[in-house]
Every structure is written in C-alpha cells, then in structure tokens.
Structure 1
Amino acid sequence: MIKGVRRTGKTSLMKVVYNELKYPKMFIDGRITPPHQNEIFNILLQYAMAALTESFIDLKLRDMIKEISFGVGPTFSFSSWTKNFEKIDKILRKRKSKFIIFIDEAQRLKTGNISGIITYLFEHTRNTVVILAGSEVGILDSIIGMDAESDLYGRPKKMIELDRLKKEEAIEFLRYGFSQYQKEIGESDLEKVVENLDGIIGWLTLFGYYSRTSDLDRSLKKIKKEAGKITAKEIEHFLQFRKEAKRRYLKLLEALSTPLRWIEIKRFLEAQSGKKVNDRIVTKYLHELEKYGLITKNEEKRYVLADPMVKEGVLLLTSRK
C-alpha cells in the first residue's frame, strides 16, 4: 500500500515497480475505471488472461477461455468471479509465478466493493499480489482496513507512506535536476522556489520543466496558473456532494493557507457566520477536508493546506462568482 498527499510521487513509484517486474501484471487507474463491481470483475479477468497468455507463450488464449467465464449485469455473481480467479491461481501455482495487480487512486473504486474483492484475493489465492495507491488518505484507510468496518481490517499489509520533501531535500532535488541540464541556479532562487511550492515533488518537477525555457518568476507564474486549474477541479469534486456548505469550506481552505489551531478555526468560522458554531461541525469540516487530502496537520499539530497550490484553486473558484 502506497499512500500520501497528491503529487508526492505515488504513481511514479508504482510505474517504476510495474516496469521492473517480470511477472504477469496489470495496472488499473481508479480515476477512469467504472466504479461498479461487475465491471471491475470483468476488467480484472480480461487483464489477467491477457497478462498470462503474454507471459506464458505456450498458454493459448482459447484454452483459457474454455476455463474462464465472463458475464455482465446481476447474473454475474461474486461467486462466479471467485471461481474464475481460483482457476487463474492454479495456473500461476503450476508455473511458480505471481500475478501482480496495481491499482492507482484505489479510493475511487470504493463503491465497487474493491475492499471485498481484495479481501477475497487475500484469503483464497496465494499467487496474486495487490499493490494499491491513493491520495484521499482517509477514504483509502477505510478501504485497506484501518477501521473495524473494513473487510480488510486486521489483515497484514505493508505500508509505504510518501510525504513532501523537507526543505533541504527539495533544494537538493532541484539542484540535481538542473545539473542534468547543465543549468546553474542560485541558492536564493532555489529557496524561493521551495518557499512557493513546498516539498511537493510534482510541482518541483513541473518547475524544472518550465524553467528550461523560462526564467524563475515566469516559471512560477505558469505553475500557479496550471495548479489553480488542477486543484480547482479537485476541490469541485470534493464539494460535489457538499453544496450547502460550499461557501464555508472555501473560506476555511482560504484561511488554512496559514497553519491554525482547532480553536482558531472555530473562531474564524464564527467570525465569518456572525454566530456560534457547534464544536462537532468544526470537527466534521476538518475531518472531511483531511480525509479527502486537502488539509493536513503539521509538526505543531496545526491544520494547514496539504498542498500550498490548493490556495490557487480556491482563488480560481471564488473568482468565478
């Protein structure tokens, strides 16, 4: 399991591992995969068959089709799917091989019973490995078994948590990148970049790309414009089912560009509304934002934006009014 806030290198790490492995494998992007159980079933089976016939030249597709059944709609049951994967597991066992399933942004498949599917694979197959990644940390935790309601609760798992780079690491990352292009950049400029982009490796990489043809200030301006569009879409996705509290959430995100304690946030919300705000409401808002990965707690246990560029997304959304 690989988790962390957005743009800290989770997908890149998965793709490096994916390309290095010689086992039969498949890669699912949860953002573009239909979040319905039966469709996930068929995607897994189709990819498994393709991967096995590609890896094992003597294994004929027609022979596998005789063994594996497909279906759509309510008639294609969970039990039908499990029997098929047990047959695939037997093929893997005979060939002393593994089938590796990579699922990126796995939290998007929660409504498709992804935790139930993974639980079955864990309990009934010995040669299938699932590697998950996701950025909506709270939702992902509910899938992988960090709370008692999850199907995967109590199951052993290996966790890799990617975080933003520390200031010194971010500066060294940029310095190394520029050395590859044989381009010099002053220490004060490196510090300015990190002050603006924090240690979010995705934005640092994009800065390096833009700065090949633009100066520092112009590159930062381009990133803020691009980041505004990207983070605005992420915020809109979060607000999609929270329309009644949209204005309050946007104000809260705007305020959290500066780290704040819980009591300071409560006072801010009360000042904005001109009336008392229930403690449970404050906690709920913060929990939802943290669960989605838009905010986090810093070392001083203050709430702050998980990505400084979220501020650009808020500015873009509020300017559309």
Structure 2
Amino acid sequence: MLFDPRPKERREDLFDREEEIEKLKKSISNQPMTLLLGIRRIGKTSVLKVALNELGAPYVYLDLRSLEDYSRASLYRLLSEAISGILPKWKRLGEFLKKVRGVSVYGFRAEFDWKERSLTLSEILGTLNRFAGETEKGFLIVAFDEAQIFRNFSGGKGRIDFGRILAYAYDNLTNLRLVLTGSEAGLLFDALRLEDPSSPLYGRYINIIRLERFDREKSIGFLRKGFEELEMNVSEDMLHEICKRVDGIVGWLTYFGCSVYESKKVEREVLDEVTERALRLVENELEKVFGKSRYYRLVLKAVSIGMDSWTGIKRAVEAWLGKPLHNAQISRIIGNLIDLGLLEKTGDRYLIPDPLISEYCRRL
C-alpha cells in the first residue's frame, strides 16, 4: 500500500523508483561500496530494502538511528539483533560465528561480547566475509542506514575508526558489499573523510546514487494511485493542493495521504490540520538542531522569507542580532546547514529543500 507510513520492502509497494532500484542492485552486485543519498523522507530506506530483498543474497541491515548511544556496547547490541534476525534463513552462518572468540550462538540467537577486546568489528566482518564465500550468490551485504551517525563515534581513546575499518573491508573482504545511506551527505563525507588524502578511504572508487524528489506529475500520480488503492475519491484540486504543500517529498506525500484517509474527509480544513501536525514533527526535529547553534535558526529564517543570497542572509542575521558577524562565520554556518541537508545552493541562491521546514522557519 502506497500510503503505508512504514518503509516499503516490496517493489509493488513503491511508486516510480524502478530506475533507482535497478541502479542500486547493479552497484551492490558489482562494487565494494555504494552510497545512497537523499534528503530526509525521500525514500532511501524503502529503495534500499526493496533492493536487498530482490538481490536474494544474505544481508545485515543496521539502522544506526536505533543506537542507544555511541558506544561499542550499543553498536554490538545492534549487530547482535541484526545478525540474529537472519540466522533462521542463513543457518550456516551460525556455525561460522561459533568459532569466533567472544561470540555466543544459541539456536537462532547470536550475542557479541563487547568486553572481549579481541572481538573487533573487523573480525566480525571477516567472519561474515568467510560465510559469504560459501553462499550461492558469493557475497553478503552490510547496509548502514543513516551512516553519517558514524561521525558521532569519531575521536577519543577507544573509539571505533569506521573509515579505517571500511577501508580494510573494501580492500580485503572481497565477498562483502557495503552500502551506506545518508540524509546528511556533508556529514557523511566528513565522517568518511573521502576527500582527505590522509583518510584510509581516499582514492577508492565509491559509487554514489542520489534519490531526487518527485516532480509535480509524479507526485500527483503517486497520490492518485494511493487514494485509488483505498477506494477514496479525491479531486484533482485537492491533489494539487497537497503537492503544493510538500513539493514531491514522498514521505510527506505519504503522511498527508494516510492522514486524509484516516480522517475520512477531503476538505481544505483537514489539510490545514495535517499541515499543523506535520509542522509539530518538524519543530521537534529542528529544535535539536537549533540547540547546537543559535545562528542556525536565524539563517534558516532568513532564507525562508526570501533573504536567500549570501549577502541577504548576512544582513538579515546581523539585523536580528544587532551586531556584525565575520564573513567566515556566516560561511561556516551556511556550510554546516548544507552538510545537515537543511540548505541547498542553486546558483548564487540558497533554498530549504523541504517546504514544511521552510514554512516552519518562516513562522519563527
């Protein structure tokens, strides 16, 4: 069902992502590492899960958003859950894991002792690599969803150096395929240090696939098909009104479609109510970002009201603060917001890619 708010796992539940799915499947089959990028709510997880299921190879899916904290213990618990989840289908993997010090296997349950210092992430990946060599497909996929979270592990004694581990896997574990998704592409590149000559991953070919928003025609088609599935008659005017509010972002299209269906009413007042609920979700997300810097709020507000050039942003922020700011400071703030996926640059102008985020910031 198109309006199911959960990530999709079957192609028939997706709308018009055939090209992206095929590109991802081809990349996974042929490349050591693939990045799947796109702004929030664009459908990365759905495209990833459909591709993983269609490839038919064993895979370990790790949603890094579910980490309790950024410790070795939390990561190993996540690995335990993910690998235990595939043991019923890939029973032979349990035999490989039993041979590793620090790993306990009970039936279809694998436990990783994070206190065992010899049980490194490289050792776990190496075990998966050895198992993959005996499978029909000859490879196993390790997928890290929202991989920019790697950045939170960086630095400090005892921290996990993911760049080094991924480079090791890239070079030596030839039966593994690594997939990393990211809604904050700048932060992901920063975490992996792909453009840093001193980075272990520097110079390696990594295929990048980007998911774009639907255009107006596809957005209307998505909504029309979704409502048809639910046997609900919605006028073309209402379909266009929904698209006007969310501008081709499939997660918001789904949210609006599901909400309208639940209300059993197709009225502008209902859309207004749904918009307000969506803005409360945006508020909850943005307040966490604004807690990192008071300037983020001001820059986004400036862009949302049309002060969208570099000079316009600087003038607006300085006027609200009542004091001048250094050019480098403004550039750094804008760069950070781009890394977070909250701003995009087109020509000499900046825009907020999510229209509901833009609307929320306009109201600040």
Range into which the TM-score falls when normalised by the shorter chain: 0.7 to 0.9
Task: Choose which of 121, 125, 139 in structure 2 pairs with 1:98.
Answer: 139
Aligned to 2:200: 151
Aligned to 1:76: 117
The CA deviation at 1:158 is: 1.6
Q: TM-score if structure 2 supplies the norm length?
A: 0.75
The CA deviation at 1:7 is: 0.7
The CA deviation at 1:200 is: 1.1
- 1:275 to 1:241, Cα distance in 2 relative to 1, 3 A: closer
C-alpha separation in 1, matches of 2:241 and 2:85: 49
C-alpha separation in 1, matches of 2:277 and 2:167: 39
1:143–1:150 Cα contact (<8 Å) kept: no
Task: Choose which of 310, 314, 325 in structure 2 pairs with 1:262.
Answer: 310
The CA deviation at 1:139 is: 0.3
Is 1:64 the counterpart of 2:97? The answer is yes
Unaligned runs of 5+ in 1: none
C-alpha separation in 2, matches of 1:161 and 1:17: 15
Is 1:215 the counterpart of 2:266? The answer is yes
Is 1:191 the counterpart of 2:240? The answer is yes
- 1:68 to 1:89, Cα distance in 2 relative to 1, 3 A: farther
Q: Of Structure 1 and Structure 2, which has the larger fraction of its residues in helix?
A: 1
Aligned to 1:137: 185
C-alpha separation in 2, matches of 1:43 and 1:208: 33
- 1:233 to 1:143, Cα distance in 2 relative to 1, 3 A: same
Deviations 1:260-312 (A, max 9, x none): 111111121222223332211211111111111112124x4411212111145
Aligned to 1:15: 49
C-alpha separation in 1, matches of 2:255 and 2:124: 43
The CA deviation at 1:182 is: 3.8
2:309–2:350 Cα contact (<8 Å) kept: yes
Is 1:296 the counterpart of 2:344? The answer is yes
Aligned to 2:71: 36
C-alpha separation in 1, matches of 2:73 and 2:240: 50
Aligned to 1:287: 335
C-alpha separation in 2, matches of 1:55 and 1:156: 32
The residue type equivalent to 1:193 in the other structure is I
Is 1:179 the counterpart of 2:228? The answer is yes
Q: TM-score if structure 1 supplies the norm length?
A: 0.84
- 1:150 to 1:164, Cα distance in 2 relative to 1, 3 A: farther
Q: Secondary structure at the match of 1:35?
A: coil
- 1:108 to 1:124, Cα distance in 2 relative to 1, 3 A: same
The residue type equivalent to 2:314 in the other structure is K
The CA deviation at 1:12 is: 1.3
2:76–2:114 Cα contact (<8 Å) kept: no
C-alpha separation in 2, matches of 1:170 and 1:63: 47
Is 1:238 the counterpart of 2:292? The answer is no
| Worse overlay, 278-287 or 13-22 | 13-22
Deviations 1:214-247 (A, max 9, x none): 32423422332232232222222223333xxx1x
C-alpha separation in 1, matches of 2:145 and 2:90: 26
The residue type equivalent to 1:215 in the other structure is V
C-alpha separation in 2, matches of 1:306 and 1:157: 25
The CA deviation at 1:56 is: 4.1
Aligned to 2:32: none
Aligned to 2:31: none
C-alpha separation in 1, matches of 2:206 and 2:267: 43
The CA deviation at 1:153 is: 2.3
C-alpha separation in 1, matches of 2:360 and 2:139: 42
- 1:202 to 1:19, Cα distance in 2 relative to 1, 3 A: same
Aligned-residue Cα RMSD (Å) equals 2.7
C-alpha separation in 2, matches of 1:63 and 1:174: 47
Is 1:54 the counterpart of 2:88? The answer is yes
The residue type equivalent to 1:22 in the other structure is G
- 1:84 to 1:236, Cα distance in 2 relative to 1, 3 A: same
| Worse overlay, 20-29 or 279-288 | 20-29
The residue type equivalent to 2:50 in the other structure is V
C-alpha separation in 2, matches of 1:265 and 1:313: 17
Q: Secondary structure at the match of 2:65?
A: coil
- 1:268 to 1:240, Cα distance in 2 relative to 1, 3 A: closer
The CA deviation at 1:36 is: 2.8
2:163–2:201 Cα contact (<8 Å) kept: yes
C-alpha separation in 2, matches of 1:181 and 1:38: 44
Q: Percent identity over the alignment?
A: 27
- 1:68 to 1:193, Cα distance in 2 relative to 1, 3 A: same
The residue type equivalent to 1:99 in the other structure is L
